[in-house]
Chains A and B, each alone.
Chain A
Amino acid sequence: MKIDATGLHYRDLNARVRAAIEAGERELLIENALGQRYIGTGITAPQARIEIFGVPGNDLAAFTDGPRIVVRGNAQDAVGNTMNAGTLVIHGDAGDLLGHSMRGGTIYVKGSAGYRVGIHMKAYGQRFPVVVVGGAVKDYAGEYMAGGLLVVLGQGVPAGEPVAGRYLGTGMHNGEMWVRKPVSAHQLGKEVGQVPIGDAEWETFQTHLAPYCAEFGIDQGQFKREDFVLLRPTSHRPYGTLYVY
């Protein structure tokens, strides 16, 4: 089913998307998206496929639980906010707050993303959120992160230039971040540290990288172990000794 979003208010557009999915439609094509917010928000049909041409607005796929959403262009802020499951593929750049409080599912961004990427992501049970950003990210990536995987590949960023901003993983207490080198100590939050990349870590990383590379037709072999820094929290209880009674 094809929906032309030209001139549509977000409520009308999203009502049509929801009605179509409730009626059993599983393949939706949205054309001419122009900043309409909340596309795919709260959608729980795991087999639904939504392809978007144009630029979807903020909170794309917020609280989403299952569908696959592909954006053939750039996305704005808060993509996958508090997302539970599903796959989001952004063929351009994404804005701030990508994957905020995400509990499960996968977000692949071909280009770069803004500030506060993957902030407060958390894993639980079978749910394990994965965010892979092809280009660079700004400050506060992975802040308060409580689980999952955040990857910054740095494609298109000249070698020797940092691909992430500062305050990486501030308050982080679970999960891990892979960031292309160089990563300087001053970029790290107080609660994270760099850990050596062993064979096991690298192999697991490859299993997360493979579907990303397949999605965008990128050569996986170009990513070398020595090009990456693996960041993990230094404590699972960063604020455990804060109080007196």
Chain B
Amino acid sequence: MRRWLVQPEFKVERDPARCIQCQVCVRQCANDVHSYDEDDELVSSDGASCVGCHRCATLCPTGAIAIGRSQLDFKPNANWTPENIRNVYKQAEGGGVLLSSMGNDKPWRVYWDHLLLNAAQVTNPSIDPLREPMELVTYLGRKPDQVRVERGPDGKAKLATEIAPQLKLRTPIMFSAMSYGSISYNASRALAQAAAEAGTFANTGEGGLHTDFRPYASNMIVQVASGRFGVDPDYLNIAAAVEIKIGQGAKPGIGGHLPGEKVDAAISRTRMIPQGTDAISPAPHHDIYSIEDLLQLICAIKEATGHRKPVSVKIAAVHNVSAVASGAVRAGADIVAIDGLRGGTGAAPTTIRDNVGIPIELALAAVDSRLREEGIRNRASLVAAGSFRSAADVAKAIALGADAVYIGTAAAVAMGCHLCQRCYTGKCNWGIATQDPFLTKRLNPDVATRRLTNLLRGWSLEIKEMLGGMGVNAIESLRGNREHLRAVGLSDREMAILGVKPAGE
């Protein structure tokens, strides 16, 4: 693994006074950092292949392991950072495309951290959500242009407008698309179970729906991506909604390759491809080269599902995102999901992940404004994705115009992910982004389910507290209500795009 000029990122220190030679660390590390010398009866560590996932340190019964950044530093250089230098070494050695996992880790401005929420004082009294009802229920799907009510022959009022199919969420947070293949069976099961328990939805990603997860299908959104893996009439009809994946925030404009090594028997069955072959998702859908073509696939899916399911279109946040979103809505999308610059991935070329796309905050505000200006905002729900780290981020997104959000990285972290960004190696020591049976069994799906539902409960309670503080009692009152946001430290132009006033105004 270790390359000639590429020095280790981490150093592993073992406190000999504490280490009891129990070898837990040796068994826990899939990267072979720790080893046991039987002759010397001594555990030792070589930090060269450490990825910084903390599995060993977390499980060490005596707290004997410390992991730090390698002290071997380059001469300080603001331009040629250690990462830049290391990457050149790697590519000079291997001659290929640099690969990364998880979301963009570069210090692009996080606009959530420049937006502040409002609260009521005196004139609009705040509400205590612990004692009064606070509504988080969210419906995703096309809303009618107007609602007509007619009086029937019996004199009773009846809804005369046909309502398009809707997804009902108990809280406006869903689990983002993570395919079985990119994550383990146990992780996929936990997401499905947690979505069902919490009254929300988990997205299958493009890896198909494992037969074991069919009982949770009414809480699942199935994806149709460019590879069309696992897509058949049954797959489309069993789920609550169908999502056409056009793009992903971590890698806008490019496709993906699940390497053949990861396509084992169960993944082969779920994706409906032979075992051991690469699962190649081309960059575009070959039947979608225009908005008209997108319309054609949306309508084909609606025809295949008897017009009973909302169809979502997921796009990456790119420069012309509002025009694309407008086109998707006009093409018949019931939900438009927008995945921002910091959205996660199981594997993406580093240079794409770190440099392509725009932040979700600006994209969301631009799309919401554009759809309002065009008078078509009601025709589709907006789902924002791309790194929601807290309930505050979610509340700010709702205020900017999102109907709901997708969380992927936060869900992975809830299950134990330590953001070491090495999903692509398939050696996830936490049993999440791996198919190695020795590693996957580390993730107990029922424990992970509980951790996910706990996270949703915690964030939902916090959102209720924030709503109550603003003096409103329903998430609908915050939705698209940018008066509840103020900006700190942003330019006039940025505030204009976000549609928010500076703090103090």
Contact = CB atoms under 8 A, between A and B. Distances in A.
B280 A174 contact: no
Please give me the 4 A-B residue pairs with the lowest Cβ-Cβ distance, nearest first: A42-B304, A244-B94, A101-B228, A244-B96
Given A143-B286, A236-B260, A120 B303 contact: no
A173 B90 CA distance: 28
Contacts of B232: 63, 65, 82, 84, 103
Interface string B232-251: 11101100000000000000
Interface of A: 10-11, 14, 18, 37-38, 41-44, 58-59, 62-65, 78, 81-82, 84, 97, 100-101, 103, 116, 119-120, 122-125, 127, 143-144, 146-147, 171, 173-174, 236-245
A59 B91 CA distance: 44
A64 B286 CA distance: 18
B278 A245 contact: no
A11 B296 CA distance: 13
Size bracket, chain B contacts: 35 or more
A75 to B, nearest CB: 15
A87 to B, nearest CB: 16
B306 interface: yes
Contacts of B273: 122, 124, 146-147
A122 B237 CA distance: 22
Given A18-B306, A82-B228, A124-B273, A65 B233 contact: yes
Interface string B416-427: 000000001100
Given A41-B304, A63-B233, A100-B287, A240 B278 contact: yes
Contacts of A174: 274, 277
Contact of A41 (B91, B260, B287, B303): B303
A116 B273 CA distance: 21
A172 B307 CA distance: 35
Given A122-B273, A146-B277, 11 more contacts: A38-B299, A41-B304, A42-B233, A63-B231, A100-B286, A122-B272, A237-B260, A242-B96, A243-B98, A244-B90, A245-B98
B296 A37 contact: yes
B306 to A, nearest CB: 7
B492 interface: no
11 contacts: A42-B233, A42-B305, A63-B233, A63-B236, A84-B232, A84-B233, A100-B286, A236-B260, A239-B278, A242-B96, A245-B98
B42 interface: no
A81 B277 contact: no
A82 to B, nearest CB: 5
A62 B300 contact: yes
A97 B278 contact: no
Contacts of B260: 236-237, 240
A237 B300 contact: no
B13 interface: no
B99 interface: yes
Contacts of B305: 42
Nearest to B226: A120
Given A143-B286, A239-B257, A38 B99 contact: no
Contacts of A42: 233, 236-237, 303-305
B254 to A, nearest CB: 12
Nearest to A174: B277
Contacts of A147: 273-274
B304 A62 contact: yes
B300 A243 contact: no
B274 A127 contact: no
Interface string B304-327: 111100000000000000000000
B277 to A, nearest CB: 6
Interface in B457-496: none
Given A59-B300, A239-B278, A245 B233 contact: no
Nearest to B279: A146
Contacts of B286: 97, 100-101, 116, 119-120, 143-144
B253 interface: no
Contacts of A241: 96
A127 B259 contact: no
B437 interface: no
Contacts of B503: none
Contacts of B93: 244
A41 B233 CA distance: 9
Interface in B258-304: 259-260, 268, 272-274, 277-278, 280, 282, 286-287, 296, 299-301, 303-304
Contacts of A171: 280, 282
Contacts of B98: 243-245
B299 A37 contact: yes
B95 interface: yes
B227 interface: yes
Contacts of B66: none
Given A82-B228, A244-B91, A124 B425 contact: no
Identify the interface centre among A84, A127, A174, A244: most chain B CB within 10 Å of its CB: A244
A73 to B, nearest CB: 20
B280 A242 contact: no
A173 B278 contact: yes
A238 B255 CA distance: 14
B20 interface: no
Given A82-B228, A171-B280, A124 B303 contact: no
B137 interface: no
Contact of A240 (B91, B259, B306): B259
Contacts of A58: 296
Nearest to B347: A243
Interface in B74-104: 90-91, 93-99
B287 A78 contact: yes
Contacts of B259: 237, 240
Contacts of B272: 103, 122, 124-125, 127
Nearest to A43: B233
A91 B280 CA distance: 33
A245 B99 contact: yes
A230 B91 CA distance: 38
Given A14-B303, A101-B228, A245-B99, A239 B296 contact: no
A242 B97 CA distance: 6
B97 to A, nearest CB: 5
A82 B286 CA distance: 11
A81 B224 CA distance: 12
Nearest to B231: A82
A7 to B, nearest CB: 19
B274 A245 contact: no
A116 to B, nearest CB: 6
B99 A243 contact: yes
Identify the interface centre among A11, A37, A243: most chain B CB within 10 Å of its CB: A243
